[in-house]
């Protein structure tokens, strides 16, 4: 058995009725223009929306991170040379003071534990949330 193609071109297209298509399309535009709220829609549409939103957001995480790094670099470069040097030396002094604490190993161990716990949280499945009318949606 061969593995499915990553782009999904080997999968059949899903078809729905014209009425269902029109309803979903009108709901999408209702959400866009504010005449509908997500909680008003059927649970299955809520699930689709939430999964699509999370995938879309996650697909941009690396770019957002890179843009923040670039923003911070430009922010630091906006300082005159003497102020930039003073700022960087101050940050190094703060880091050195933290590293010079007698409990530095405990602090670093706790930071590592929290970091590792955070990695586990990233991989948690999407949990059900309760909507305004107390329905659970993914």
Q: What is the pLDDT of residues 84-137, one digit of tens each?
A: 888 888 888 888 887 787 887 887 788 777 777 666 555 444 455 555 655 554
How far is the CA of 130 from the CAs of 7, 35, 77, in angstroms? 33, 21, 46
Q: Are 88 and 16 in contact (CB under 8 A)?
A: no
Classify residue 13: in a domain, yes or no. no
What domain range includes position 51? Answer: 18-137
The greatest distance separating any two alpha carbons of the chain, rounded to the nearest whole angstrom, comes to: 70
Classify residue 95: in a domain, yes or no. yes
Separation of alpha carbons 38 and 20, rounded Å: 17
Instruction: State how many domains the chain has.
Output: 1
Classify residue 71: in a domain, yes or no. yes
Classify residue 7: in a domain, yes or no. no
Model-wide pTM > 0.75: no
Q: What are phi and psi of 136, to 5 degrees?
A: -90, 135
Q: What is the pLDDT of residues 37-51, one digit of tens each?
A: 999 999 999 999 999
Classify residue 117: in a domain, yes or no. yes
pLDDT at residue 63 greater than cutoff 50: yes
Classify residue 67: in a domain, yes or no. yes
| pLDDT for the residue numbered 1 | 66
């Amino acid at each position: 058995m061969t593995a499915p193609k990553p782009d999904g071109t080997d999968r059949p297209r899903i078809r729905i009725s014209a009425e269902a298509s029109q309803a979903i399309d009108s709901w999408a535009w209702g959400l866009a223009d504010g005449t509908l709220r997500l909680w008003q829609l059927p649970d299955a549409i809520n699930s689709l929306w939430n999964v699509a939103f999370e995938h879309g957001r996650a697909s941009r995480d690396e770019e957002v991170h890179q843009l923040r790094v670039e923003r911070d670099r430009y922010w630091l470069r906006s300082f005159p040379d003497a102020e930039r040097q003073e700022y960087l030396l101050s940050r190094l002094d703060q880091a050195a003071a933290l590293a010079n604490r007698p409990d530095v190993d405990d602090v670093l161990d706790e930071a590592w534990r929290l970091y590792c716990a955070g990695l586990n949280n990233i991989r948690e499945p999407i949990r059900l949330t309760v909507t305004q009318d107390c329905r659970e949606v993914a």
